Amino acid sequence: MSNTPKEQNSIPTSKVQRSSRFVKTGIKVGGNYIKHYSKKLFNPDMDRSELNEDNAADIYESLSELKGSALKVAQMLSMDKNLLPQAYVDKFSQSQYNAPPLSGPLIVQTFKKYFGKTPEQIYDKFNLRSTNAASIGQVHEAELKGKKLAVKIQYPGVGDSISSDLKLVKPFAFRLLGMSEKELDVYMREVEERLLEETDYELEIRRSVEFSNACANLDNVVFPTYYPELSSKRIITMSWLEGIHLKEFLATNPSQELRNTIGQALWDFYNFQQHELRAVHADPHPGNFMITPDGKLGVIDFGCIKEMPDDFYSPFFSLTSTNLLDNKEETIKAFRLLEMIHPDDTPQQVEFYYGMYKQMISLFAMPYIDASFDFGETKFFDELYGFGEKISKMPEFKQARGVKHFIYVNRTNFGLYNILHELKAKVKTDTFKPHVTEQFA
């Protein structure tokens, strides 16, 4: 049996079509709850794992058909290991690699709309079957003047349906995440802003050229060449980068030395951007990277970039990278600037949040303390996830805390840590240091 996902001939693009798909899914999920509670009458000890699996399968099926922002949110949640039950993480993480691809006629239609030509009239060769399909677009192999190309095509309607999709995702997110209304709104607004950028392929082309040039001198990091003249608002053409994804790479049982090389390249790629460019590739899921045949890290997607303003960057990285945490007064000032402590908090609340956040940041900053860090150490990750799980159950953390920039910066750094953990890489962590101060007046 082949595991290739079945092709999709159409995507629900209108608001009515998309919302009715969500309603149908809601009814299915409701049915799963009824089934679960009926079984529980006869078996009181039954846990929720079957219910989670049924719900995850139904929600994923719906999201993968709708694609776009709905599927992207699922993908993001699957990377945040503390937020969801395991069944959802397993199912949603599929969206990083293999959403159902679009059929040939839909591809041709997209080309005609943006270039007034079919793919065959633009390239010498064009494979109508996609090589992989993710949440916002899919990639096709092409050839022009003897050069092998990768052509990324955005799904129809994705860019136009972000706001309405996120409104439809909200009740599911609300139920799954247990966030407060205010916290969920902050989360959804920031996600919407990034997704609007991510569906603008003209912006992505500009950023891809800009960032790959800025990072060109990093050791063991390679990028495709981009072709703006063969790209448009919904289509991107770049050179084909040979390589395999992380999962396949790890299956080849690479040497520790090679794992360290790839891990170091990842660390340098992220920390150079954070500290020298103050803007970072904020989508660190394994599908965005390849390991090339000569053992380098290939970066193939610059769709999601998070810029870090000074009023976030300085207090945040001062906390992780200096002795600031030893100075209680200055630490509380930084926490206030980052809205982790609120102006109307009581003295008891200030004390409580100061203690919890200090512990959290001390844990997060552990890789920065010495000149190198072994990400293969499970003890560090057990502590990190254990602490995350503990605070996710605490009523004090149900209300929104922290400026919106945390959403993507945390996602980026925890995503990076996770990949380095999977690689079991030992890396030098002092290669690109934050530009910070130890005082906040």
pLDDT (mean) for 359-383: 91
User: DSSP assignment, residue 244?
Assistant: B
Report residue 22's pLDDT band, with 50, 70 and 90 as the boundaries. very low
Beta bridge partners of 378: none
Q: For the chain, what are the domain ranges? A: 15-101+159-196, 242-441
Sign of the torsion formed by the C-alpha atoms of 337, 341, 345 and 346: negative
Mean pLDDT to the nearest integer, 192-211 = 87
Question: What pLDDT digit, counting tens, does each position of 335-348 carry?
Answer: 999 999 999 999 99
Predicted confidence (pLDDT) at residue 174 exceeds the cutoff of 70 = no
* Stretch 173-180: mean pLDDT: 57
pLDDT of the residue at 48: 52
How many angstroms separate the most distant Cα atoms in the chain? Answer: 70
Mean of pLDDT over the chain: 78
Distance CA 151, CA 232 (A): 11
For residue 371, give both structure tokens. 């000149």
* Residue of 84 and 290 predicted with greater confidence: 290
Q: Which of 90-99, 299-308, 324-333, 336-345 has the lowest mean pLDDT?
A: 90-99
Check pLDDT > 90 for residue 263.
Answer: yes
What b/e string do you get for 222-242 counting C-beta neighbours within 10 Å, with b at 16 or more? bbbebbeebbbbbbbbbebbe
pLDDT for residue 371: 92
What pLDDT shows up at residue 117?
Answer: 95
Query: What's the confidence (pLDDT) of residue 438?
Result: 56
Asked if the model's pLDDT at residue 222 lies above 70, the reply is yes
Whole-number pLDDT of residue 390: 82
For the chain, state the CA radius of gyration. Answer: 23
The mean per-residue pLDDT over the stretch 272-295 comes to 90
Of the candidates 268, 272, 302, the residue with the CA atom closest to the CA atom of residue 284? 302
Q: What does the buried/exposed string (b/e) look like for 44-62 if buried means 16 or more CB atoms within 10 Å of the residue's CB?
A: eeeeeeebbbbbbebbbeb
Please report how many Cα atoms fall inside a 13 Å half-sphere around the Cα of residue 62, on the Cβ side. Answer: 26
Q: Lowest-confidence range among 4-13, 167-176, 357-366?
A: 4-13
| The dihedral sign for the CA sequence 221, 153, 306, 203 | positive
Rounded distance between C-alpha atoms, residue 40 and residue 48, angstroms: 10
pLDDT at 367: 92
